[in-house]
Structure 1
Amino acid sequence: MTTLKSKLQDDLTAAIKDRDELRSATLRMTLAAISKEEVAGKSARELSDDEVQKVITREAKKRREAADAFADGGRAESAERERAEGEILSGYLPAQLTDEELDALVGEAVAEAQAGGAEGPRAMGAVMKIVNPKVQGRAEGGRVAAAVKKRLAAG
C-alpha cells in the first residue's frame, strides 16, 4: 500500500474514533475515489503516491467547484461544507505555488520555448509542455494556462 493512501486510512480511523463527522466523511469519499480508480480499466492495480495525489487533487477541485455552485445558488450552508471538505483535502496536497513563483516558472518556460523558435500566442502549446511538469500538483491547470496567456500576450 502506498504511504499516502495508508496515511489517509490512518487519518480516517482517527477521525472516526474522534467522532469527527466532516473529516471522516471527506476521507471516506476520497478513499472510495482512490479505490474506484484502482479497479478502473482492464485489471485492478495499486496506485502510486503520485496517482493518489492526482485523485486527491481532482476531489479537491470538485469541492471548490461545488462550493462555487452552491454559493451561486444561494445555499451558503452547503457551500461552506464543500469548502471545509476542500480544506481537509488540501492538507494532503503539496503547497500551491504563489502567483510570483508561478510567474517566474512561466517566464523561464516562455524564454525556453522562444529559444526553440516558438513565437507569439501560437507558442502556448510549447510553453505548456515545458511548464506543466515543473508545476505538476502545485498549481491548477487553468491557473497555469492563464499565466502563460498573460505572459505571451505581454510579449
Structure 2
Amino acid sequence: MSLLERLNSDMKQAMKNKEKDKLTVIRMIKASLQNEAIKLGHDLTEDDELTVLSREVKQRKDSLHEFDKAGREDLVEKLRTELLYVEEYMPKQLTEEELTKIVKEAISETGASSKAEMGKVMSVLMPKVKGKADGSLVNKLVQQHLS
C-alpha cells in the first residue's frame, strides 16, 4: 500500500471515529505531499515522500522545542500529539547502537580521521539513514567518533 493510499484510508477511518486531531494532521501531510509533487512536477517517489515526512517531523520537533522554552504547555501537548501521528507514517527508527555501527562503517569507508572531514562522512552516511534517524543525532555520533 502506497503512502497516499494509507493516508486516504486512515483519513476515512479518522472521519468515522471523529478523531479531529488525527484528521487534521493527515490532511496536513497530504497537502505537503501534494505541494511537493507540484513543485517537482512529477509523482513522488518513496524517497521524495520520506523527505516530506522527515520535514514534517523536523518542523514539529523544532516548534515543540520553541513552545516548550516559551512555557506554552497547551501548544506543547498539541504538537506532541501531532508528532505521534506523523511518526506513524515514518519508517522504523534506528536504535543508537545500530546507528553507531553505520557511522563507524561510513567513517572507515571514507577514511576520515578528523572533524575537518565530517562532510565526507555525512554525505556517505545520510542517504543510508534518511528518514530512519534524526539528523542531529547522526551529527553528534559522527563528531564523537571523529574526535
Number of the residue aligned with 1:14: 13
Does residue 1:121 correspond to 2:115, yes or no? yes
Distance 1:130 1:144 in 2: 12
Q: Which has the larger radius of gyration?
A: 1
* Structure 1 alignment gaps of length 5 or more: none
Does residue 1:131 correspond to 2:125, yes or no? yes
Letter in 2 for 1:8: L
Which of 117, 131, 135 is matched with 1:141 structurally?
135
SS in 2 for 1:94: coil
SS in 2 for 1:127: helix
Which of 87, 90, 93 is matched with 1:93 structurally?
90
Superposed, 1:51-130 pairs within 5 Å as 51-114=48-111, 118-130=112-124
Superposed, 1:41-56 pairs within 5 Å as 41=40, 44-56=41-53
Segments ≥4 residues shifted beyond 4 Å: none
Number of the residue aligned with 2:3: 4
Q: Say how many residue pairs are matched.
A: 147
**What's the TM-score, normalizing by structure 1?**
0.88
**What's the TM-score, normalizing by structure 2?**
0.92
* Structure 2 alignment gaps of length 5 or more: none
Structure 1 vs Structure 2 CA RMSD:
1.5
Does residue 1:34 correspond to 2:21, yes or no? no
Q: Is the 8 A contact 1:94 1:137 kept in 2?
A: yes
Give the CA deviation at 1:53: 2.0
Give the CA deviation at 1:89: 0.8
| Amino-acid identity (%) | 33
Letter in 1 for 2:105: E
Distance 2:37 2:75 in 1: 29
SS in 2 for 1:36: helix
